[in-house]
Structure 1
Amino acid sequence: MSPINLTDLPAEGESSGLPKYEQLRDHVISQIESGALKSGVALPSENRLAESLGIARSTVRQALSSLERDGLVLRVHGKGTFVHDEAKQRLRKSQDLFALIVPETETGFYPSFQRSFEEAAAKLHNQIVVCNSNNDVDKQASVILQLIDLRVAGVAIVPTTLATTPSFHIGQLQKNNIPVVCCSRPVQGASAPLLAIPFEEVGFRAGQEIRQAGHQHVAFMATCHVLATDLYERGFRRAMGRGGTIETFFGSGKPTDYAALEKECGEAIDDMFGKANPPTAIFCGFDSVAETLYLQLAQRGIRVPQDVSIVGFGGTHRGGGIASHLSSVMLDEIGLGIQAVELLSQMRNGQVPIDTSDARELAVSFNGGNTLSAPPSK
């Protein structure tokens, strides 16, 4: 067997940005992928590798341990380290795997976004893995490290918002030559393609529909106060114009913390309808908020849309239950999944640079539903 030669690799912290053990690990993997290292072949001993590379034996041991954890090499006590019989097949499986990281999987447009992503990937003979960050930046970091270990072919990510995603989360994937597509919102400081929700346009479209229905005293509700909700509100106020008055309500929790969402929606309703002149229409930053609000209003005997109108925001797939009846601004989440897979495939094949800053805005439309009507007569 030809010796593994890493003597020309940069030192840790130089151009590769990777420590020596990762450079050694990646080189062995590339040798397996190319066929230079065949199944069952013995690798040089730890001593020989350490001596020829001019690195510590502990560094070599760290690289081999990582390869063993991934099932790419087999270490036999007293005999040495061997390329696993199924190493190439295992690498091929990870190279065919696209990952989707989302802040939730249960509500809004995320289930149909996931479905369209999976269907688009299947057409290219790629499998997918879906990772739920729960909108937790630390959990997202852990997921990213696991995906790097899996050597996935590409990652589409909806970045966290309660604590914003740092640019190095994206950078770590790219350093490992894993393409990344940011969905919904950008990551400040990261150079990656973006499929963006036009948040201000969503708010404007909601306000436009509400104003055209004749409403002037309205409210805006969201689960938390982040950059996206500021843009929603800006567009909403622009559409309502100077003649409109807008009350704002921001929650403190996550959209899937249903107990907190119900409590905060209930408190907002009691605040609004405890006044002599309550709002006649409410724009909600997500369909899950609109659905919870609808139920909380019904419990208090407040009718939708006879007493108050509701406009939400979600995907084109309306599903059943309340969502199918909601008047909502709709995002083309099907197109989002398709475009994300297309971009990952193009970057993987070298057709698009991995660090491109190309940004595309997603199309929005409006579902009339039956929760928006003219304001109640005085």
Structure 2
Amino acid sequence: MKIHYINILMFALPLNILVYNQRNHKSITPHIPNENPIKTHRSLCECELYEPKNYDNDHEMLSVMQDFDRQTSQRFREYDQRMIKNRQKCKDQCEKDIQKIILKDKIKKELKEKLDTLETNIYNKDLPICECEKSLTDKVEKGCLGCGVFGSGIAPNVGLFGEVALGAWKTAALVTAKKLAAEAGATEGASKGAAAGVEVVISELNTELGVSNLGGELLKTFINPKNYNNVEYIYQALYTKYKGLSCIQYGSVSAPITDPDKTFCTSVFEKYFYISNGSGDVSIPDVIRTTVKEIVGRSEITAEGTKEMVTGEVTLEAIKTNTAAVDTTYAGSQIAIIASIFAILIIVLVMVIIYLILRYKRKRKMKKKLQYIKLLKE
């Protein structure tokens, strides 16, 4: 072994000689001196501006550091608050779950202990139905009961309030019917009265003055319900007609002569002598105006009487007609209300019957489940 050590040391000596001999390090590449020497640059951390002593004296840097510290602290505080809330929420939820598990285990244990003391021939159909899993029968029974109670309360109210509302409607309808009848009677009476007045004026003009036409028209066309009581209008037409006729002048009056309208001239002349008694104090225009006033006065009296009579008759007839219509509508509405009440009562009766049947069946089943219901209530 010593021989091997000696050989290794002897081999290392020539190797050192070869490494440190400069003649063995010849290079064929010529070395050219660098005319542009590389400048050495100082790094950022070597600047005096960023030394710790300058950090402490720089106000801007201090402000930035303070803002950073403040915002960081605020973020950490908000994070801690959220974590506290979340931890509390998780803790409460865990406690609730633990309580539910404990309660469930306790109930199971108690049920198992008490069921062991009961008879063993228990079937699933004998167990009570859970409130959250009601059968269709229970739902129908509850619905029928609600419909029966609700419908039994509605039916009397429909009859009561329906009759009250219908009575109020009938009263208002009768008042409206009478008002409309009065308006219709007044309109019809005014129309009939005016027509009667027109007839009187035409008849009196033809009888007293012998006039059959005025203004180139027949009296039926010239006199109408709008102007039959206009004294000035009729007077102007008559006086114009009188002036247009050929009459012999006798003093201040005209004596009638033979012409197609001699009847009119004769009538006016007679009226003149009758009113003036031959004194000559009254003129022909005054005679015509006075005669027209008398005729119009009689026509207005006739028109007013006819108006009152026709108004009363038409109003009474309209009241009867409108009242009959209101009574017919009222009777129809009563029939509809009664039919609705009967329909509601029939529906309620059917619901009550269904409820009683389902209730009877449920009671029979509940006789077997009483001890289990008592057990669950405990």
| Shorter-chain TM-score above 0.5 | no
> Larger relative CO (CA 8 A, sep 6+): 1 or 2?
2
Instruction: State TM-score, norm by structure 2.
Output: 0.24
Higher helix share: 2
Higher strand share: 1
Instruction: State TM-score, norm by structure 1.
Output: 0.24
